[in-house]
Amino acid sequence: MFKILITEPIPEKPISFLEEIGEVTVAPKGTYDTEEALISHIHAYDALLCMLSTPVTRNVLEAGKKLKIVANFAVGYDNIDIKAAQELNIKTANTPDVLTEACGDYAMGLLLALSRKLKEAENYLREGKFSGWEPLGFLGMELRDRTLGIIGMGRIGQAFAHRARAFGMNIIYLNRNRIEQTTEKELNAEFVEDLKELVSRSDVLSLNCPLTEETHHLIDEEILELMPNHALLVNISRGAVIDEEALAEALHDQKIAGAALDVFENEPQVHPKLLTAPNTLLLPHIASATYKTRDAIGMLAAEAIEGVLKGKPDSDIPNLIRR
């Protein structure tokens, strides 16, 4: 029997699927959030199904003498040393595609809540301050004819763009490569090659890019200075794409009008200055949190594990990471 480690509880469907091919251990949340904890146990397992919070370092992979595959319960995989895995002939997998619609909905929801100050308005009511309709109460930004600048026009970026177009927004985008002309035309989207130009033209700036050496702290003090004072920032990519200290200062100084963040650089810790920043919507990394999507994420990871453990050709496992 194969031995499979799942680093924290996930939906039951993928667990039951994996129990058909091996002995599955589901660890309590937080058990394997350190390299040391993983190293002490990974030698016993043939497969690892892990979270973005799981540090799958070279040391961990070298300790996994039986390890054949690491499958991330996420689209991103910056927590895994992919180069080391390839050198050690350990397969890696992520979960593309299945999060797209849930994340597109969520990004639109964040923007609506932020632009119309829904959190502040609800708090105002719950605190007993609502005494009737106010002509100047909680004035926000209408989205029609505003410009949405998207950094990272992959599947999720495009899903957000489709929704924003339905609200009458204009789309500009920055991407490593220009998207297909048919998609660009469908979205009436304009490709902008320069980050500073994109930022200065955007009423709303959305971050949908992966975390790489190039995108680490991409949004820093210099870039924030270029944003219009009325601009809003939405991030559902990775926390470290933003210099959180610089963002917090910009919000406190009202250099930008607001930010909605689902991810943070040092999760689960949140920068203390962000916690006190005005017009800031902070959520605990829940962009993919629907029943359908979380089941699909788990099954995609589980199917990759099954394929590798049963010796299927790599070509039959579409979500293996190849680079």
Q: What is the mean pLDDT of the chain?
A: 97
CB 144 within 8 A of CB 169: yes
pLDDT score at 247: 98
Q: 264-272, long-range: CB within 8 Å, 24+ apart, which pairs? A: 264/239, 265/239, 265/240, 266/239, 267/53, 267/239, 271/244, 271/245
Q: Is 285 a catalytic residue?
A: yes
Catalytic residue among 116, 165, 216, 285: 285
Q: Is 19 a catalytic residue?
A: no
Question: Predicted confidence band at 83 (pLDDT cuts at 50, 70, 90)?
Answer: very high
CATH 3.40.50.720, domain 2-98+291-316, yes or no: yes
d(CA 90, CA 143): 47
CB 112 within 8 A of CB 245: no
Question: Predicted confidence band at 137 (pLDDT cuts at 50, 70, 90)?
Answer: very high
pLDDT score at 58: 98
CA distances to 31, 32, 67, 257 from 56, in Å? 14, 10, 12, 38
CB atoms under 10 Å from CB of 105, counted, come to: 16
List, in sequence order, every beta strand (DSSP E) within the chain: 2-6, 22-26, 47-50, 69-72, 91-93, 147-151, 170-174, 189-191, 204-207, 232-235, 258-261, 280-282
pLDDT score at 118: 98
d(CA 219, CA 221): 7
Catalytic residue among 190, 225, 245, 267: 267
Question: Predicted confidence band at 323 (pLDDT cuts at 50, 70, 90)?
Answer: confident
Catalytic residue among 155, 201, 238, 294: 238
**Phi and psi angles of residue 242, each rounded to the nearest 5 degrees, phi first:** -110, 140
pLDDT score at 105: 98
3-state secondary structure of 133: coil
Structure tokens at 205: 């700036």
11 exposure class (CB count in 10 Å sphere: 0-12, 13-18, 19+): middle
Q: Tens digit of pLDDT for each residue in 153-195?
A: 999 999 999 999 999 999 999 999 999 999 999 999 999 999 9
Q: Is 267 a catalytic residue?
A: yes
The residue ranges of every structural domain in the chain are 2-98+291-316, 100-282
Average pLDDT over every residue of 291-318 = 97
Buried b (16+ CB within 10 A) or exposed e, 254-286: ebbbbbbbbbbbeeeebbeebeebebbbebebe
100-282 belongs to which homologous superfamily?
Answer: NAD(P)-binding Rossmann-like Domain (3.40.50.720)
Structure tokens at 93: 């997998």
Which distant-in-sequence residues (6+ apart) come within 8 Å of 162 by Cβ? 104, 187
Q: Global pTM?
A: 0.91
Buried b (16+ CB within 10 A) or exposed e, 143-168: beebbbbbbbbbbbbbbbbbbbbebe
Peptide bond into 96 cis (omega under 30): no
CB atoms under 10 Å from CB of 312, counted, come to: 13
User: Is a pLDDT exceeding 80 seen at residue 136?
Assistant: yes
The answer to whether the 2-98+291-316 and 100-282 domains have the same CATH topology is yes
Quickly list DSSP for 176-201: SSPPPHHHHHHHTEEE---HHHHHHH
Residues of the chain above pLDDT 70, percent: 100
Average pLDDT over every residue of 120-128 = 97
